[in-house]
Chains A and B, each alone.
Chain A
Amino acid sequence: MNPDVGHDDFESGLKPLWMRAQAGDDAAYREALARVARRLRAFFGRRMLSVADEVEDLVQETLLALHLQRGTYDPALPVSAWVYAIARHKLVDLWRRRGRREALHEPLDDLDESEHPVAADDEQPARRDLGVLLQSLTAAQQQAIALTRIEGLSMAEASARTGVSVAALKVQVHRGLKRLAALVKGDS
């Protein structure tokens, strides 16, 4: 088992938040994702010394995956185990893609010990800008996401404003986020 997985403060703090989030509490979801993001940053940071500038990209990619797959979480299991299983999967997938492209051979010796981002808890800038990637979604997807996810309108309000049905808006948001996840991975 991974040493990061266990019954620690992370799990005991996250579980109730996560359960409320699964039931539809957006504020709890936001707080849960923020805690998860901090953990992911540390988890990836320790394992991606040679590609430290990609840590934040992978954090964002993993957060998107967690969101799109939140229906696969089984309440009988620790949330942290579920999160780490997906994080590990994302890391393996990154190495696989890296191996295939044979890009990037960042020499570690360029870095002083002090510059190693091991303990860096701070967010480094992501290399890929999701804001830019969002613009390559279809207009309908962009609009649905902008209204309900950025402006924070309810589905009903967004529906009234655009004349698009709530069901169609939900589909556009979901497809848009899926598309975004593919773009972040570079699948295009």
Chain B
Amino acid sequence: MKTDDLIGLLATGAGPAPRAVAARRLLPVMLGGVAASALLAVSVIGLVPTALFADGAWWTKFAYAAGLAIALTWPFARLARPVASTRAPWRLVGAVVAAMALLGLWQFVQTEPGARSSELLGHSWAMCPWNVLVLSLPALAGAFWALRGLAPTRPRAAGLAAGLLAGAVGATGYALACTELSMAFVAIWYTLGVALAGTLGALLGPRLLHW
């Protein structure tokens, strides 16, 4: 078939271009990812005692994870398409992380020196990042599925964004099961879990995002 014939085949009856392709693929995936990680966290680890829902610290933790996930959909959606600039989206993500880091630091310096190590490490620092990573896996699979139907031209960056987004979704689910209330703990170990998922995504991107 000659290229002109192919062009005819593509253009004839083509109709208008589909709209909002990224949002249409991303939305179900994210809702599914949040549901899966929440369900896993609650059924495997167990929901936090309901008294914690009256604690501002718990809500701050939850808001950080959820806010990070929402912010990360921006670079993700940009990187799912060719040529879009990602500077502003990454800055927003950086701002969310920086806000949490400042909050953790502020609380940390106000803590008595003797209590500082438990402020930093809590009782679950060694588990937290790994739990976040495991809980991010359903969202990671979904994010890659979404990317494979779109047009990422920078596979590593797109994989990184997918991984970080999935990590933040995993962290949101994990917050439902995690009883740590120190801001410094959240700023360090939650963020590290999200970064682990991001690393996994960046490694997978170039392997999975061929089209």
Chain A contacts to B: CB under 8 angstroms:
21-24, 26-27, 29-30, 33-34, 37, 56, 59-60, 63-65, 67, 69-74, 77, 81-82, 85-86, 88-89, 93, 96, 123, 125-126, 129-131, 134, 145, 148-150, 152-155, 177
The interface residues of chain A lying within 8 Å CB-to-CB of B4 are 34, 123
Count of interface residues, chain B, beta-carbon cutoff 8 Å = 32
Interface class of chain A by DSSP: helix
B21 within 8 A of A: yes
Given known pairs A24-B15, A131-B1, the reply for A82 and B10 (CB within 8 Å) is no
The answer to whether B14 touches A21 (Cβ under 8 A) is yes
CA distance A154 to B14 in the complex (A): 10
**Which stretch from B26-34, B38-46, B76-84, B169-177 is at the chain A interface?**
B76-84
Chain B residues with CB under 8 Å of chain A are: 1-22, 80-84, 150-151, 153, 210-211
Q: Contacts A71-B19, A129-B1 known; A89 to B153 CB distance under 8 Å?
A: yes
Whether B83 contacts A82 by the Cβ 8 Å rule is: yes
- In the bound assembly, the distance between CA atoms of A14 and B18 in angstroms comes to 19
Residue pair B151, A30 in contact (C-beta under 8 Å): no
Contacts known (A22-B16, A26-B12, A89-B153); A65 close to B7, Cβ less than 8 A: no
CA–CA, A73 and B8, complex, Å: 21
**Among all A-B residue pairs, the 4 with the closest Cβ atoms:** A24-B16, A85-B82, A71-B21, A130-B1
CB distance from B5 to the nearest CB of A (A): 8
- Contacts of B7 on A, CB cut-off 8 Å? 30, 33-34, 37, 63
Nearest CB on B from A178, distance (A): 9
Task: Knowing A86-B151, A89-B153, A96-B210 are in contact, say whether A72-B13 is a contact too (CB < 8 A).
Answer: no
The complex places the Cα of A86 from the Cα of B84 at a distance, in Å, of 12
12 more contacts with CB within 8 A, not counting A65-B211, A77-B84, are: A23-B16, A33-B7, A37-B7, A71-B17, A72-B80, A82-B83, A86-B151, A89-B82, A125-B2, A126-B3, A149-B9, A155-B13
Closest chain-A Cβ to B24's Cβ sits at a distance in Å of 9
Does more than half of chain B's interface fall in helix, strand or loop, or is it mixed? loop
A96 to B82 CA separation, bound complex (whole angstroms):
19
B153 touches A64 (CB 8 A): no
Given known A65-B211, A71-B18, contact A33–B10 (CB-CB < 8 A): yes
Q: A26-B14, A126-B1, A130-B1 are in contact. Are A72 and B6 (CB under 8 A)?
A: no
By beta carbon, the residue of chain A nearest B78 is A74
B11 touching A72 by the CB < 8 A rule? no
CA A125 – CA B6 in complex, angstroms?
A: 13
For A34, what are the chain B residues with a Cβ–Cβ distance below 8 Å?
Answer: 4, 7
Which chain B residue has the least Cβ–Cβ distance from A5? Answer: B83
Contact of B13 among A26, A65, A89 (CB under 8 A): A26
Using known A-B contacts A71-B19, A72-B80, A85-B83, determine if residue A148 contacts B12 with beta carbons closer than 8 Å. Answer: yes
In angstroms, Cα B5 to Cα A63, docked, is 12
Structural contact, A30 and B1, CB atoms closer than 8 A: no
| Pair B10/A72 contact, Cβ less than 8 Å | no
Mind listing 18 A-B residue pairs with CB under 8 Å? A29-B11, A30-B12, A37-B3, A67-B14, A69-B82, A70-B17, A71-B19, A72-B22, A72-B81, A72-B82, A72-B151, A77-B84, A89-B153, A123-B2, A123-B3, A123-B4, A130-B1, A155-B13
What residues of chain A lie closer than 8 Å to B3, measured between beta carbons? Answer: 37, 56, 59-60, 63, 123, 126
Expressed in whole angstroms, the Cα–Cα distance for A112 and B18 within the complex equals 47
Please, which residue of chain A has its CB at the minimum distance from the CB of B8? Answer: A30
Contact of A63 among B10, B12, B80 (CB under 8 A): B10
Contact A130 B13 (CB under 8 A): no
Q: Are A152 and B13 neighbours in the complex by a CB distance under 8 Å? A: yes
